[in-house]
Chain A
Amino acid sequence: MSTEIVAPAPEARAMDLLRFATAGSVDDGKSTLIGRLLYDTKSLFTDQLAAVEAVSAARGDEYTNLALLTDGLRAEREQGITIDVAYRYFATPRRKFIIADTPGHIQYTRNMVTGASTADLALILVDARKGLVEQSRRHAFLCSLLRVPHLVLCVNKMDLVDWSQEVYERIADEFTAFAAKLDVPDLTVVPVSALRGDNIVTRSDNMPWYEGPSLLHHLERVHIASDRNLVDVRFPVQYVIRPQSTTVTDYRGYAGQVASGVLKPGDEVMVLPSGFTSRIAAVETADGPVPEAFPPMSVTVRLADEIDISRGDLICRPNNAPAVAQDIEAMVCWMDETAPLRVGARYAIKHTTRSARAIVRGLHYRLDINSLHRDESADELRLNEIGRVRLRTTVPLLADEYRRNRTTGGFVIIDEATNRTVGAAMIVEAN
Chain B
Amino acid sequence: MTTPAAYQVSHLDALEAESIFVMREVVAEMERPVMLFSGGKDSIVMLRLAQKAFAPANVPFPVMHVDTGHNFPEVLEYRDQRVAELGLQLVVASVPEALASGMVRESGDGMRNRIQTPVLLDAVEKHRFDALFGGARRDEEKARAKERVFSFRDEFGQWDPKNQRPELWSLYNGRHHPGESIRVFPLSNWTELDVWHYIARERIPLPSIYYAHEREVIERDGMFYAVNEFFRPRAGEERFKAQVRYRTVGDASCTAAVRSDADTVEKVIEEVAATRITERGATRGDDRVSEAAMEDRKREGYF
Contacts and interface: CB of A to CB of B under 8 A. Distances in A.
B56 A243 contact: yes
A192 B145 CA distance: 26
A276 interface: no
B295 interface: yes
Contacts of B57: 241-245, 248, 251
Contacts of A15: 10-11
From B13, B20, B275, residue with most partner A Cβ within 10 Å: B20
Given A17-B14, A239-B27, A70 B145 contact: yes
B175 A257 contact: no
B158 to A, nearest CB: 15
A45 interface: yes
A77 B143 CA distance: 12
Nearest to A101: B145
B175 A414 contact: yes
B138 A87 contact: yes
Contacts of B235: none
B100 interface: no
Contacts of B11: 14-17, 96
Contacts of A86: 142, 145-146
Given A73-B143, A89-B139, A241 B21 contact: no
Contacts of B146: 72-73, 84-87
A245 B291 contact: no
Indicate the size class of the contact surface on chain A: 35 or more
Contact of B4 (A113, A230, A286): A230
Interface residues of B, number: 61
Contacts of A73: 142-143, 146, 161-162, 292, 295
A161 interface: no
Contacts, number: 184
A72 B52 contact: no
Contacts of A85: 146
Interface stretch (B105-113, B123-131, B163-171, B237-245): B163-171
Contact of B173 (A87, A243, A421): A421
Count chain B CB atoms within 10 A of each CB in A86, A111, A114, A298 and give the residue with the most. A298
Interface in B245-303: 275-278, 281-282, 291-292, 295
16 contacts: A47-B277, A48-B278, A70-B142, A74-B291, A83-B162, A84-B146, A87-B139, A87-B146, A118-B170, A225-B4, A225-B7, A287-B52, A297-B13, A298-B17, A350-B171, A350-B173
Interface of A: 13-17, 45-48, 51, 55, 69-70, 72-75, 77, 83-89, 96, 98, 110-111, 113-114, 117-118, 225-226, 228, 230, 238-239, 241-245, 248, 251, 255-257, 262, 285-287, 294, 296-298, 311, 335, 348, 350-351, 353, 406-407, 410-412, 414, 419-421, 424
Interface of B: 4-5, 7-14, 16-18, 20-21, 24-25, 27-28, 51-58, 138-139, 141-143, 145-146, 148, 161-162, 164-171, 173, 175-177, 188-189, 191, 275-278, 281-282, 291-292, 295
